Amino acid sequence: MSADAEIVAPGIGLPGGDDAEERTGLWQRAIGNVKSGNLGVLPVVLGEVLIVAYFGFTATNFFTAGNFVNVILQMAGVTMIAYGVVFVLLLGEIDLSIGYLSGIAAVTAATMQLADGAQLPGWLAILIGLAVVAVIGTAQGTVVAKVGVPSFVVTLAGLLIWQGVILQDPASCAA
C-alpha cells in the first residue's frame, strides 16, 4: 500500500490488495469504533435492552398483550408528530412549536365539543382543529420562506405564543 493511500484512508486496504493484515472484519471495526469513542447507537440499544430486561423480570404483566396495546396507544400521537418533524429536520430546519401546535389542534377540537358550545360531531371538530393548525403552520412557514426569518426564531416565538393560547381559559376568551 502506498503512503498516499494511508493518508486518505488509514487502516483500509486498497481494492484487490492481498494484505490480509489490513483487512478488518465487522467485529474488529466495531471494537475500533468503541475504542475511539464513536459509539453510534450502542448506548441506546444497551439501555433499551437493560430496561426491557429489568421490567421483564420485575413486572408480571410486562410481556402481556394488554401492556403492548397500551404502549402502542400511548405512543401513537407522539410518533405521528415525530414522523412529521423528521421531514423538517431533513430539510435542515427546525420546528420548536410543533408540540404546542398539536395541543392547539386538540384544544380546538375539544372546544368544539363543549356542552355550552357548538357540540359538533367528533370528526368535524377534528377537521376544524387540523384546519386551524394548518393555517398557523402556513403563516409560520410563510414568514420563514418569504420574509427570511430563521425557522428557529419563528417557531420559538410560535411555541411561546401557542403555549399562552393553550393556557388561556376558553370562558375568558368568549367574554
**Residue 4: pLDDT over 80:** no
Q: 25-39 burial string, b = 16+ CB within 10 Å, else e?
A: eeeeeeeeeeeeeee
The H helix count followed by the E strand count for the chain is 8, 0
* Cα–Cα distance measured from residue 77 to residue 96, given in angstroms and rounded to the nearest whole number: 17
Q: How far is CA 119 from the centre of its chain?
A: 33
**Residue 20: pLDDT over 70:** no
User: How confident is the model over 135-155, as a mean pLDDT?
Assistant: 95
**Could you tell me the residue ranges of all domains in the chain?**
1-63, 64-174
Residue 155 in grid coordinates: 417557531
pLDDT score at 24: 67
DSSP 124: H
What are 94-115's pLDDT values in tens digits? 999 999 999 999 999 998 888 7
The larger pLDDT score, comparing residue 22 to residue 89, is at 89
Q: Which of 111-115, 143-147, 171-175 has the highest mean pLDDT?
A: 143-147
pLDDT score at 9: 52
Q: How confident is the model at residue 21 (pLDDT cuts 50, 70, 90)?
A: very low
**Residue 14: pLDDT over 80:** no
Report which residue type is found at 152.
Answer: F
Contact 61, 67 (CB under 8 A): yes
* Cα–Cα distance measured from residue 153 to residue 50, given in angstroms and rounded to the nearest whole number: 39
* Cα–Cα distance measured from residue 152 to residue 140, given in angstroms and rounded to the nearest whole number: 11
What are 22-56's pLDDT values in tens digits? 556 888 887 888 888 888 888 899 999 999 999 99
